Amino acid sequence: MTERQLRAGTHSERVRSLARDAGFDHCGIATATFLEAEAPRLERWLKQGMHGTMAYMEQHFDKRLDPRQLVPGARSVISLLVNYHSRETQPPDVPRISTYAYSRKDYHRVIKDMLFNLVQRMQEELGHFDGRVFVDSAPVLDKAWAARSGLGWIGKNSNLIRKGEGSFFFIAEIICDLELEPDHPATDHCGSCTRCIDACPTQAIVAPFVVDGSRCISHYTIELKEAIPASMQGAWSDWMFGCDVCQDVCPWNRFSTPHRNPGLEPVPEVMQWSADDWYEMTEDVFNRVFGTSALKRRKYEGIRQNLKFLQSPGD
């Protein structure tokens, strides 16, 4: 083994250790290169219109597939996972929001702060390097990189799944010009299971590993700017913002453990509100309770629109 390879291996181990110290649950490393296998799948997915109204998915096609176009000279993609599984759940018979949106502080901000802290520590110990941090906010195929770096496999519901831990993880990246020793990709452990496909309320998982985003409840309740089509009335019961069905039924998520990140603690109102509290919520209350949370992306009028959709005509 050359001195260069030894240094890359030593640096990789230190990066993983610093990532744990910064509060990340898992860290994996991949070589920054073109995602050759993902290119035809992404092109086919877009041509079939499975991105729905998410027009931004059509942009920066080349950058999504090659991190070196995002960070010139990039050598490594460091993928990081943050567990967001909650020990608490909403009361029964209320408008439901996806678990990732439980916290008062938007997860983007929580994880960005963790990333900046990690990069500072890396600079102090490993010397200066050029790079950028990403949290679901740029043309990065985060699940593909996490899978390539051994953090899990992409399941039939298109979520990253870890053996023995499940899929309730946020994914973040540091793309940088550090030369690091890459990890080996994880193997697939979905087997013959089709629970996520069978359980999807809108049949959005059109084939194993293929999700038609335009049919996903998350698309209807978060991304869609206009009113949810009347044809979807009754297609799902109580999801008001996002959906966790394909994760809730996944057998691997029986191993999920509650997160320990104080920045992701749920908004008390989410755990306490009745259905009436949601339906009677004013804009002032929305801004006070959810003004810094992930729900702000939908804005008050969008949330009201979603709540109205959940009510049967005439209610």
Query: Which residue out of 66, 113, 136, 177 is catalytically annotated?
Result: 136
Strands 160-161 and 205-207: unpaired
What is the DSSP-derived secondary structure letter of residue 266?
A: B
Strands 96-97 and 239-241: parallel
**Distance between CA 96 and CA 98 in Å, rounded?**
7
The DSSP string of 289-301 is HHTTSGGGGTHHH
* Token duo for residue 45: 């997915």
198 is catalytic: no
148: part of which helix (H) or strand (E)? helix 142-148
In DSSP terms, 174 is beta-bridged to 78, 133
* Token duo for residue 71: 């960070």
Give the CA distances from residue 250 to residues 25, 92, 100, 200, 284, in Å, rounded to whole numbers and listed in that order.
20, 21, 16, 11, 38
**Distance between CA 254 and CA 294 in Å, rounded?**
25
Q: How far apart are the first and last CA of the chain?
A: 72
**Distance between CA 304 and CA 315 in Å, rounded?**
15
Quick one: how far is CA 258 from the chain centroid? Answer: 17
Which residues are designated catalytic?
A: 136
